[in-house]
Structure 1
């Protein structure tokens, strides 16, 4: 009796598994067919592209190609333990400053000077340093328009900047900010703020 009940239970389980497998396979096929049909319709438009639409698409593609932005390679301009990553930046790019290996007694300020004209500069930002407290660190600045600082338009940022290391004998570093604008930042620099 034990043998026949085991065979009966095993047979029932086997039949149940087969029925569930058929139901599962049937439901999977019907669902995937609907998705494929929808995708096919989206990928194959019923209308042909008109010459006017194609002309607009070509015009947009040309604009994208002309405005494609690629950052300049990093150059790492150095003065003692101070480095900046490039000699030219576009409006909206961050200026990356690396300070590494300050001596214990070195203390002062890194001053970023923006051009006012061909002969005069104005301090844009200062960054204090003290080798006794921290001899290695990174910093970045991103020159922006500011009504309170009197930086009203992109013309107030564009030009040849100087980085001075106050409290040291290290030579100054020079870099240029060009009139090109980082894609996506056009609104930040095209309208004067004062």
Structure 2
């Protein structure tokens, strides 16, 4: 008799747990099925609010559609850049190929300061006796240390000067459009 009571208690406990588990699974299954069934009905009309939101999202996607300009390869001697126009956040690709052994100097990138003046942004040294071919990526970025606080400081026509050579300068433009996904990189920092 003493063994029957504990065994009965265990059987009742297992039965109660099984009933709760079955009820819990059935209620979750029914909710999921109802939700799935509701989502799969194409004959329902969208509410005006939902349609308006869908239209707004589509408009934003069309406005933010970004297609990079095709590469043009603007050249001055052994120096080339890949485009004449960039958007904020795009990398400027510089190829230096075929430097003569006696060619030594700096590639200087000048950003527009105002309508008549520009200021040095970045320099890249080169020495044909050391390396006659190399590639470089440059991506203008805001910097508190350099005093470049807003995106407007990059917009306009830039000039690349090849110091120590007689090669002609190259120019490219950075527009006010921002590369999708990089908007946060151009929030004012100062």
TM-score tier (shorter): 0.7 to 0.9
Aligned to 1:82: 79
Is 2:188 the counterpart of 1:192?
yes
Is 2:105 the counterpart of 1:108?
yes
Is 2:179 the counterpart of 1:182?
yes
Q: Distance in 2 between matches of 1:42 and 1:109?
A: 66
Aligned to 2:13: none
Is 2:53 the counterpart of 1:56?
yes
Shift of 1:188: 1.6
Pair 66,105 (structure 1): closer, same or farther in 2 beyond 3 Å: same
Shift of 1:49: 2.7
Deviation per CA, 1:150-187: give whole Å up to 9, x if none.
11111111111000001100000001111111111112
Deviation per CA, 1:42-84: give whole Å up to 9, x if none.
8614865323212211111111012101101111000000000
Taking structure 1 as the reference length, the TM-score comes to 0.75
What are the equivalent positions in structure 2 for 1:103-182 lying under 5 Å apart?
103-182=100-179
Q: Distance in 2 between matches of 1:183 and 1:172?
A: 30
Taking structure 2 as the reference length, the TM-score comes to 0.77
Structure 2 residue runs of 5 or longer lacking an equivalent are 1-32
Deviation per CA, 1:99-155: give whole Å up to 9, x if none.
011111111110001111122221111111111111111001000111110111111
Aligned residues: 158
Aligned to 1:34: none
Pair 126,42 (structure 1): closer, same or farther in 2 beyond 3 Å: farther
Root-mean-square deviation (CA, aligned residues, Å) is: 2.2
